[in-house]
Structure 1
């Protein structure tokens, strides 16, 4: 039987520093409901979905910064986030959600740009990822009008690695994976990982631009990569001499080209589907973010793509068996390299 998975990317329009959390939650819940109406089983939301992209600001410009962070251990119970997961549970939807995480480890406050995977089947958070490739600068530019990218100032690099995981309950009749020493499943069949629950991997924004992010997941057999992002449409101070000569429209077009390039090329090279979800539009009256939420096939084709810069749900039906031809070739090449001895 084909392993069919129905997925959605939930693009968000802009959030602002003064946007009430209640308004953001209401929009996220409406997007969940819209994805459910389309038939989705899994919904991917953007990076920092619950807030504006505040790491563009200097610390002193956001005196109440703590309100933009969530305790990763209380997402399912906090009034600030619980409505999302309650609605996901009611609808039976898995959710990948990006947020700014605060934690206390070893007695020290730590902050990460994070996302979690919520499993409706388990009724719990199944996996968490912390962004590794933090872009931008540690110090703001001297020019008061410059557009900064200060994630290195606000966040610590991720420390959880690129760890793939299986998401249960999405595809019926998957092969059980518990095996004995003879390599036989508990249902009496030979083990076949390609018939099991879908293998997922998560990354955030700038991670998608680095080959190792994808390859770490590809070597673990990942079939679906989930990626939320907030990508600037215009930041000439960050981008160098050539980009400083571009118009806003030219810069935005180039950012869209590069986003589509990394999603399609890496999906093809690792023979996996990918789902990317943007926060888009102009935040806080000044800071433009590209759209481009898309779902890509293992052959590098765009199956669905957002058409607006606002709240929008895109949907696609994935046949995970489409990952097999490319993964089989990679496996054969890897074995050939292992067997080769000069």
Structure 2
């Protein structure tokens, strides 16, 4: 039986270091209102949606650094956080589920977090596991794109826990949802953890740099345009391939554009089907809603045939994946 649902990726364009959160919220609410006009039921927003991507900077001022984080309510989570409550109130008023990323200040530490909010309550929360970059900056040049997530965040400690979204139920079955954040999408282990829970919609927000030779190790002969295309290629490659190998829809939402007029983030907001095909993608590098009608029943082809895990997986041979973090090369032949 078909299980239709209309979903969207909310791409968010340029947000500068000094852009007030209130200004960003106006733009986000406009995207929600557009989603409502198009009868969208789920909107996926980017990583660190409410502010600029501050881990690119070495920030010595603790007051400024603290300003980028959201403090959650102990019982209700992000939905009643004073800085962003208006956004979640609007989503609740419109009856739209949202998956949204933000920097979380928790009692036990700071995390790069995404929450799935439905009907005014937090159904699930995910903390980014695979933090890229370094603790120390590459250099003192203010125009260098640093990646200091290891400095500002702790690695996520919730694992990869799928969940149901009852407001999106069609018939007797609610969709099974998973969340990843940015660099997590490059690591197949997380995808497979979700795949083994029957995931049907993967929600991924990200901020991915287009040009950062110090960070990416970009070939010295590669120019900015080539680097941008390479970054987009790899983004699409991992999302399409992993959506296919886990037979799931995937919604990716970019924070993109030229932050502060000099730090370029790629686009690539898109909706991918369980066969790995892009069914809708962005057309601009600014605020944009990418909408698609999907049928969750389309996941069954891959789940029951091509990748019927219970029939074809051989976990007894996969031990090396969890036994080691780094590479151990085989011995040389004498």
Residue 183 of structure 2 aligns to a residue whose secondary structure is helix
Q: Counterpart of 1:128? A: 125
Structure 1 329/126 Cα, relative in aligned 2: closer, same or farther at 3 Å? same
Q: Counterpart of 2:332? A: none
Structure 1 241/268 Cα, relative in aligned 2: closer, same or farther at 3 Å? closer
The answer to whether the 8 Å contact 1:5/1:319 transfers is yes
What CA distance in whole angstroms lies between the structure 1 residues aligned with 2:130 and 2:91? 29
Q: Counterpart of 1:7? A: 7
Q: Counterpart of 2:59? A: 59
What CA distance in whole angstroms lies between the structure 2 residues aligned with 1:333 and 1:48? 34
The answer to whether the 8 Å contact 2:302/2:308 transfers is no
What CA distance in whole angstroms lies between the structure 2 residues aligned with 1:66 and 1:13? 23
Query: Please, which runs of 5 or more residues in structure 1 have no aligned partner?
Result: 175-195
What CA distance in whole angstroms lies between the structure 2 residues aligned with 1:104 and 1:330? 44
**Which runs of structure 2 are paired with 1:92-171 in the superposition (5 Å)?**
92-105=95-108, 110-120=109-119, 123-144=120-141, 145-171=143-169
Structure 1 219/267 Cα, relative in aligned 2: closer, same or farther at 3 Å? same
1:233-288 alpha-carbon deviations (Å, 9 max, x no partner):
0000112251x331111100100011111111111111000000000101122210
- Structure 1 length-normalised TM: 0.88
The answer to whether the 8 Å contact 1:4/1:171 transfers is no
By how many angstroms is 1:38 displaced?
Answer: 1.5
Structure 1 64/322 Cα, relative in aligned 2: closer, same or farther at 3 Å? same
Superposition CA RMSD, Å = 1.9
**Which runs of structure 2 are paired with 1:1-342 in the superposition (5 Å)?**
1-60=1-60, 63-73=63-73, 74-105=77-108, 110-120=109-119, 123-144=120-141, 145-174=143-172, 196-240=173-217, 242=219, 244-329=220-305, 332=308, 334-336=310-312
Residue 60 of structure 2 aligns to a residue whose secondary structure is helix
**Corresponding residue pairs, total:** 313
Q: Counterpart of 2:322? A: none
Query: Please, which runs of 5 or more residues in structure 2 have no aligned partner?
Result: 317-334
By how many angstroms is 1:79 displaced?
Answer: 2.9
Most deviating of 217-226 and 138-147: 138-147
- Structure 2 length-normalised TM: 0.90
The answer to whether the 8 Å contact 2:44/2:205 transfers is yes
By how many angstroms is 1:59 displaced?
Answer: 2.7
1:59-97 alpha-carbon deviations (Å, 9 max, x no partner):
316751111100133522233111111111111000001
